[in-house]
Structure formats: structure tokens, C-alpha cells
């Protein structure tokens, strides 16, 4: 019997379209002799849909047409398992059952632990990091605080709330001066280079901060690394075992890797079928042209980052290197990376289908291990409360 995998993607996030690309790409490569794919699309207005047509990238060009044919559902649990239940009509119908969820979402309201928390509350096993790891991996400020505690290499930075900037922008400007220009201004919890600005001097700082504030209540300002080389390494595993991929050098004509570089690149925006390249469309050199010593350090650091943030499944960890000094800095992890970083595993002999199979198998094993732990007790303390207990008094 095939394992039914519910691939969940989309959501109310600025990275909605990127999620669709990554998910369709993954569904094209899941071994359908072993798994039955159940696509589950979350629209930008947070409605859930299912239907085989959701595996075709073309249907997303006209959302109104999609809603006519896809079935609107909710994910719930009944006596027979985890069920997608229709939401329309007087009599609710069971559309499909799934055995395991595979979140392929990016950004706030999705990748940040929001979806993972819902799946935990339903009780369904799912692929990837759980709530804590997902949340830590999304917040660029909290993750740096953890990195600092673990003595992991990071650039100098400062951060603030939008309210602090509104109250006293000069105080914020002074903190940035102490870091020294140029700097990178980022929304604290977004990905895919959305809302990020490279700032060469104070004249451009206010505009960059106002751009970041459009997307987040927290803003981080980081010291820009001179003589910059950007490299990425993917990690697969859990808290017990981690393996690392090839390391890539990502090239760009800009001061940092932009949304255009990451997701459009050589594909020129064509998303049909196997041309849905996602992060695989970016310009890159694999393996990265770095020394064996630096390669070893980055591999070991990647495992440390993975464990420090309580990650699981597959992630991509991005690094900044000063080519002149050979110093490297952890930039950030991507807990559900674009294209699931399959292009970093293929060079070392792991196909995309094998990577997806490893992820599902790992999730099932982790779920079985977690169910051995105690999460509730058979005793019911409410049985000791008398009738008046409803008003706050106890029966003693």
C-alpha cells in the first residue's frame, strides 16, 4: 500500500509564489510507485484546496479558474486517521485521507512554525523541523543571539522594532554608525531577499529602513562583508545524525543575492513543467572554489547550526566569506529551502527523488520516536472538582 503524502504549500506570505514553484517541482520528483501525492494548496486568503490539478503549475495563472475545480477542504482527524474534509455543502464529505504531511512553504505565516503548530495540534506526522526549529530559523535576530551564545561566527549587527525607529530614528542611526557602512538592512523574519537593501552611506539608510518596515515589525542591520563571496551548504538529518551536501558558490552582479537571482535567473520566469527551477535557476559554481580547510570548517559549522536551532529534515545554510581574509560568517539557515536544495545533493550522488524519500522516511522515524514519549496522563484532575467548582471553588 502506498503512503499518502499531503504536500502543503502556498499560504498568506510574500513568498507564496516561490512556495508554489518549490512544491510543484517536488511533486514532479516524488516516487509515485511508493507514494500517493495529495496536493494541498493554501491560497493567499488562507483557504485550503485539494485536487490533482494542483500539481500543474499552469493552473496558478488564473486563481479564479483554480477555485472552480479544486475542492475547498480542512485538515482534521477522525477515527480512521487524518482526513481532508470538504467545507462546502450541507453534508460535509471526506475527500481524502493522508498518512503524513509534507510542508513546502516559505516565509511568515507558514515556514515560521505557524503551519507546523497546526499540524502538531492535529497530531499528524510531518516532514521537516518542528515548531521551535522553524520559528528560530525564521527570525534573523533570535537566531543570531543563539549563534553568539554558541560561539558561531556572525557579522556585527544591531536591531530594533519599528516603534523604536518611529520614536527616535536618530538613536537608531547612531547605532548603525557604530557598526560602520556599508550595511545590509533586512526585515527580521522574511526570506527570499524580500525587503532587503544594501546601504552604502547614511543618506540611503532611512529609505532602506522604511522599506524593511513595510514587511516586519523588527528590522536588523548587519555589517556588509567586504570582498564578498556567498556560499551555501545543505544539511539533511535530525538531532542525532546530520549529513552535508556539496558546497556551492552563488554568483550575482548585485551587492547581495536578490530575489531575481534566486528564483527567476536563467529561467526568465517560465514556470511550466520541469522549467519550474526555483532556486535551481540561480547562477552557481559547484563545488565552490574554496580551500579544503575552509570547506571542512563550513561543513562542521553547518552541523552545529543545524543542532543549535533544533532543525530537522533538510535545510540550506548560507554563508558570507571575505575572500581577502578567508573569514566566514553564518548568514542564516533556510529551514524549508527553495527547491529543497536538491541541486546541492545531486553532485554527491543523491537524486532529487532519493532526497524526498529520505525526508519522508526520516519524518516517519522521528514521529515514531516522539510517540514513545509521555505527553499526557490518564488521571483527570477535573474529576475532583465539585459542582461549585465551575465557579472557582473546589470540593475538598
Domains of the chain (ranges; CATH) run 3-126 (3.40.50.20), 156-223 (3.30.1490.20), 226-368 (3.30.470.20)
Q: What is the dihedral of CA 238, 244, 248, 252, to 10 degrees?
A: 20
φ, ψ of residue 215 in degrees (nearest 5)? -110, -15
Query: Look-up: residue for cell 547612531?
Result: 174
Q: Residue 8 pairs with which residues in a beta bridge? A: 40, 103
- Contact assessment for residue 172 and residue 155, using Cβ atoms and an 8 Å cutoff: no
User: Residue 89 and residue 196: Cα distance in Å, rounded?
Assistant: 45
Angle between helices 131-138 and 140-149 (to 10 degrees): 100
In angstroms, the first-to-last Cα distance of the chain is: 54
HSE toward the beta carbon, residue 99, CA cutoff 13 A: 14
Q: Which DSSP symbol is given to 347?
A: G
Q: Which DSSP string corresponds to 179-238?
A: H-SSEEEEETT--TTTT-EEE-SGGGHHHHHHHHHTT-SEEEEEEPPSSEEEEEEEEEE-
Q: Extract the C-alpha cell encoding 54.
A: 494542483
pLDDT in tens, the chain (396 residues): 899 999 999 999 988 999 999 999 999 999 999 999 999 999 999 999 999 999 999 999 887 778 788 999 999 999 999 999 998 776 678 999 999 999 999 988 899 999 999 999 999 999 999 999 999 999 999 999 999 999 999 999 999 999 999 999 999 999 999 999 999 999 998 865 778 999 999 999 999 999 999 999 999 999 999 999 999 999 999 999 999 999 999 987 665 555 455 544 544 334 433 444 555 556 899 999 999 999 999 999 999 999 999 999 999 999 999 999 999 999 999 999 999 999 999 999 999 999 999 999 999 999 999 888 777 666 666 666 665 555 554 544
Q: Say which residues have a Cβ less than 8 Å from residue 60's Cβ, sequence separation at least 6.
A: 17, 20, 66
User: Residue 50 and residue 90: Cα distance in Å, rounded?
Assistant: 19
The answer, as to whether pTM is greater than 0.85, is yes
- Contact assessment for residue 131 and residue 117, using Cβ atoms and an 8 Å cutoff: yes
Please report, for residues 125, 175, 197, 245, 333, the alpha-carbon distance to residue 255 in angstroms, rounded to integers and kept in the order given.
40, 22, 9, 26, 19
Amino acid at each position: 500500500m502506498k503512503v499518502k503524502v499531503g504536500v502543503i504549500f502556498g499560504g498568506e506570505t510574500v513568498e507564496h509564489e516561490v512556495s508554489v514553484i518549490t512544491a510543484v517541482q517536488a511533486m514532479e520528483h516524488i516516487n509515485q510507485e511508493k507514494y500517493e501525492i495529495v496536493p494541498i494548496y493554501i491560497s493567499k486568503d488562507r483557504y485550503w484546496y485539494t485536487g490533482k490539478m494542483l500539481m500543474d503549475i499552469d493552473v496558478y495563472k488564473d486563481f479564479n479558474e483554480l477555485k472552480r475545480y479544486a475542492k475547498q477542504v480542512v485538515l482534521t482527524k477522525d477515527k480512521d486517521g487524518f482526513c481532508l474534509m470538504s467545507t462546502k455543502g450541507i453534508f460535509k464529505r471526506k475527500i481524502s485521507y493522508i498518512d503524513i504531511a509534507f510542508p513546502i512553504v516559505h516565509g511568515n505565516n507558514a515556514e515560521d512554525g505557524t503551519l507546523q503548530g497546526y499540524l502538531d495540534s492535529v497530531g499528524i506526522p510531518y516532514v521537516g523541523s518542528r515548531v521551535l526549529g522553524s520559528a528560530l530559523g525564521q527570525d534573523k535576530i533570535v537566531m543570531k543571539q543563539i549563534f553568539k551564545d554558541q560561539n558561531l561566527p556572525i557579522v556585527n549587527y544591531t536591531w530594533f522594532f519599528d516603534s523604536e525607529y518611529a520614536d527616535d530614528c536618530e538613536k537608531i542611526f547612531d547605532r548603525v554608525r557604530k557598526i560602520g557602512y556599508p550595511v545590509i538592512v533586512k526585515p527580521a523574519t522574511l526570506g527570499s531577499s524580500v525587503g532587503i537593501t544594501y546601504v552604502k552611506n547614511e543618506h540611503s539608510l532611512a529609505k532602506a529602513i522604511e522599506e524593511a518596515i513595510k514587511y516586519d515589525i523588527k528590522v536588523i542591520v548587519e555589517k556588509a562583508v567586504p570582498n564578498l563571496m556567498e556560499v551555501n551548504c545543505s544539511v539533511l538529518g535530525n538531532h542525532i545524525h546530520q549529513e552535508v551536501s556539496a558546497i556551492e558558490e552563488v554568483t550575482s552582479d548585485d551587492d547581495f543575492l536578490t530575489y531575481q537571482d534566486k528564483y527567476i535567473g536563467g529561467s526568465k520566469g517560465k514556470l511550466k513543467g520541469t522549467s519550474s527551477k526555483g532556486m535551481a535557476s540561480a547562477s552557481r559554481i559547484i563545488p565552490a572554489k574554496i580551500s579544503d580547510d575552509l570547506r571542512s570548517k563550513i561543513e562542521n559549522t553547518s552541523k552545529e547550526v543545524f543542532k543549535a536551532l533544533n532543525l530537522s529534515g533538510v535545510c540550506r545554510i548560507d554563508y558570507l566569506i571575505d575572500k581577502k581574509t578567508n573569514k566566514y560568517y553564518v548568514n542564516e539557515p533556510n529551514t524549508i529551502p527553495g527547491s529543497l536544495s536538491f541541486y546541492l545533493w545531486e553532485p554527491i550522488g543523491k537524486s532529487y527523488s532519493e532526497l524526498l524519500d529520505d525526508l519522508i522516511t526520516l519524518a516517519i522515524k522521528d514521529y515514531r520516536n516522539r510517540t514513545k514519549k509521555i505527553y499526557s496522563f490518564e488521571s483527570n484532575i477535573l474529576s475532583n472538582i465539585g459542582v461549585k467548582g465551575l465557579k472557582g471553588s473546589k470540593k475538598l
